[in-house]
Amino acid sequence: MMKQLSQRLLGPVTLVLLGLTFWLGLWVTPPDKVQGNLVRLLYVHPAIAWVALYVSFGTATIASGLYLWKRTRSLTMDRIAHCAMEVSVVFIVLTLVTGSIWGRPTWGVWWAWDARLTSTAILGVLALGYLALRRANDDPTLRARRSAVFAILSAINVPIIHFSVQWWKTLHQGATVFTSSRQVLVHGVMAWTLLISFVGFTLLFFWLLRARYRLEVEREESSAATLDEVLAARRSEGAL
C-alpha cells in the first residue's frame, strides 16, 4: 500500500519540486552581487551534476557491484545498472550544457581545458562506452558481467572529478555549499532554492529510472513473446 502510494506520488512530487525550483530561482531569489542574474543557472547546474555523477552513476556502480557479488546476482541488478547508466548519460550531457552556458559569459568561452570539465566529459564518454559495450554482446549473462566490470572500472573517474578542483588549479570553483572547513556559504532563500533543486532532481532521477526500468522489462517480455511466436510458427510448419 505504502509502496504503491509512494510510486504514485513520485511523479507529482517531482514536478512540484522542480516547478518550485524554477519559480524560486527565476523570480523569488535576488541577483548575485558578483554574477548578477547568471547565478540563476546555478540553482539547476549543481543539482544536475549531483545526479549525473553521484546518484545515477553511483546507482549504476552499486547495482553492478551487487550483480558481481554472487549472493545478490540477478538480472534485476543488471537492468537497474543499465537503466541508471542511460539516465546518467542524459544528466552528464545536461551538466556539460548548463555549465557551458554559464561558462560563456563568465569565462568568455564555451569550453575550457579545466580539470573538472575535462574529467566530466571523459565520464560521459565512459557512460556511452558502457552502452556500446552492452550492444556488442547478445548473451545476457556475458553482457551483464562485462558491463558490470566496466561500470566499476569507470567509477574510478568519479572521485577524480570530485577532487579535481582541489588537486589541480581549476577555473571551476571549489565547494560552495559545504567547504572543507564545514562552513555553509549559501544562506536564506538561495540556500532553500538550492536544497529544493537537489531534492527535485534526485527524485526526477528515480522517476526516470523507474519508467526506464519498466520499459526495459516490457521490451524483454515482448522480445521473449515474439521469440515464442516464431518458435511456435516453426513447430507448426514442421508438423504439416
Pick from 136, 185, 227, 232: which binds other proteins (CB under 8 A)?
136
CA-to-CA separations, 101 to 94, 170, 237, in angstroms, rounded: 10, 18, 61
Asked if 145 touches other proteins (CB under 8 A), the answer is yes
> Grid coordinates representing 81?
545498472
Q: How many CB atoms lie within 10 A of CB 44?
A: 22
Asked if 149 touches other proteins (CB under 8 A), the answer is yes
Asked if 189 touches other proteins (CB under 8 A), the answer is no
Name the segment binding other proteins (CB under 8 A); options: 12-20, 32-40, 45-53, 122-130.
122-130
Asked if 129 touches other proteins (CB under 8 A), the answer is yes
Q: Which is nearer to other proteins, 44 or 52 (CB)?
A: 52
Asked if 233 touches other proteins (CB under 8 A), the answer is no
Residues 6+ apart with CB under 8 A from 181: none
Q: What sections of the chain are H helices per DSSP? A: 2-23, 45-50, 57-68, 75-107, 115-136, 140-154, 157-167, 188-239
Measured distance CA(108)–CA(106) in Å, rounded: 6
Pick from 142, 175, 189, 230: which binds other proteins (CB under 8 A)?
142
- The least distance separating other proteins from the CB of residue 220, rounded to whole angstroms, comes to 19
- The least distance separating other proteins from the CB of residue 126, rounded to whole angstroms, comes to 5
Phi, psi (degrees; rounded to nearest 5) at 29? -70, 145
Q: What sections of 155-187 are H helices per DSSP? A: 157-167
Q: Which is nearer to other proteins, 39 or 152 (CB)?
A: 152
Residues that bind other proteins (rule: CB under 8 A) add up to a total of 27
Indicate the Cα dihedral angle 84, 89, 95, 101, nearest 10°. Answer: -150
Q: Is 76 in a helix, a strand, or coil?
A: helix
Pick from 68, 90, 101, 199: which binds other proteins (CB under 8 A)?
68
Asked if 150 touches other proteins (CB under 8 A), the answer is yes
| Residues making contact with other proteins (CB under 8 A) | 68, 118, 122-123, 125-126, 128-129, 132-133, 135-138, 141-142, 145-146, 148-150, 152-154, 156-157, 160
